């Protein structure tokens, strides 16, 4: 089944079996609303860590029965994160979700040896799926939240991650565009030289089709590719975008969310368990989509 809209994720999860979703410091309305919707849809059982009084107050405002969750009280964000990690390690088939906690604190629990959520040598990277009303299909993009300036080797791993997500959504041969400011290989721009280095071994990413460096317009707009004389299976029809750094990726993500009103879903790949990681400013729909995406990757 090819998932062409984020709404299709729900159908793809039919009869997939429940997992246990553990949400870190889920004391905000968007997190509680999203987790409650995922429970109602039958995707997950849920554990919420955080200040129990705040969680119950949020449930009361949203008219959500708190009895559908297991609430683990925590006094601070750090304690909520620690308790969540311990719950994840105590139950089979767990998912971990970021609630109202900053990304640095959340990543700390993934990297803490005590919690055994991350195997040394792996690359942790953020992958999001964007449904932009002005693009004819979903876009899988990385990295907009975790790796500030990825090395060449990290970029190679990130290509595998975005390809994995695209394939999970039913895209047999994901088209991956290596984003840079220009199609020329300018030695002063690492985005261009890294893309050129990746291209020398792009057969390693089969069945994904990898090409670049491409400016963003060439990657997603066939007319721009035609005007610039770029002939490529990927140009103008990309399924996946690999951004050269977090500056470019984060601006793209938030521009889509706030000015294009795109629907989005976001996860972390590379941890021992699937991880839901959306921005604290994301709405309940984005958080619910992210839970669905993480659940899909577990199938």
Residues of the chain scoring pLDDT < 70: 280, 299
- At residue 122, the pLDDT reads 85
Task: Give the tens place of pLDDT for each residue, 189-236.
Answer: 999 999 999 999 999 999 999 999 999 999 999 999 999 999 999 999
Domain boundaries, given as residue ranges, for the chain: 8-118+271-298, 127-254
CATH topology of domain 8-118+271-298: Rossmann fold (3.40.50)
CATH topology of domain 127-254: Isopropylmalate Dehydrogenase (3.40.718)
- At residue 282, the pLDDT reads 77
Retrieve residue 282's tokens: 């994301």
Global confidence as pTM: 0.92
- At residue 299, the pLDDT reads 66
Residues whose CB falls within 8 Å of the CB of residue 118, separated by 6 or more in sequence, listed in order: 110, 111, 124, 270, 271, 272
Retrieve residue 254's tokens: 């938030």
- At residue 17, the pLDDT reads 79
Whether 127-254 and 8-118+271-298 are alike in CATH topology: the answer is: no
- At residue 108, the pLDDT reads 84
- At residue 256, the pLDDT reads 94
User: Measured in whole angstroms, how far is the alpha carbon of residue 93 from the centre of its chain?
Assistant: 19
Residues whose CB falls within 8 Å of the CB of residue 293, separated by 6 or more in sequence, listed in order: 9, 129, 165, 265, 266, 267, 276
């Amino acid at each position: 089944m090819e998932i062409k809209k984020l709404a299709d994720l729900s159908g793809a999860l039919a009869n997939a079996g429940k997992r246990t979703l553990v949400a870190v410091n889920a004391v905000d309305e968007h997190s509680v609303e999203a987790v409650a919707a995922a429970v109602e849809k039958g995707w997950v059982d849920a554990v919420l860590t955080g200040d129990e009084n705040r969680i119950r107050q949020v449930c009361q405002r949203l008219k959500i029965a708190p009895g559908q969750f297991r609430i683990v009280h925590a006094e601070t964000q750090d304690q909520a994160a620690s308790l969540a990690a311990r719950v994840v390690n105590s139950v089979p088939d767990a998912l971990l979700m970021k609630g109202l906690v900053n990304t640095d604190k959340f990543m700390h629990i993934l990297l803490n040896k005590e919690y055994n959520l991350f195997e040394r040598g792996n690359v942790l990277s953020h992958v999001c799926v964007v449904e932009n009303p002005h693009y004819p299909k979903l876009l899988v993009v990385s990295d907009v939240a975790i790796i500030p300036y990825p090395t060449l080797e990290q970029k190679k791993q990130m290509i595998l991650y975005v390809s994995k997500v695209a394939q999970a959504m039913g895209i047999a041969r994901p088209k991956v565009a290596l984003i840079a400011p220009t199609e020329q290989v300018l030695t002063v721009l690492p985005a261009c030289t890294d893309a050129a280095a990746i291209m020398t071994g792009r057969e390693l990413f089969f069945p994904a089709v990898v090409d670049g460096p491409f400016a963003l317009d060439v990657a997603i707009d066939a007319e721009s590719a035609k005007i610039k004389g770029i002939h490529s299976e990927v140009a103008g029809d990309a399924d996946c975008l690999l951004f050269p750094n977090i500056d470019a990726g984060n601006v793209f993500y938030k521009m889509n969310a706030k000015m294009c009103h795109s629907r989005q879903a976001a996860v972390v790949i590379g941890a021992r368990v699937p991880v839901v990681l959306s921005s604290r400013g994301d709405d309940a729909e984005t958080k619910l989509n992210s839970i669905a995406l993480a659940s899909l990757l577990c199938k």
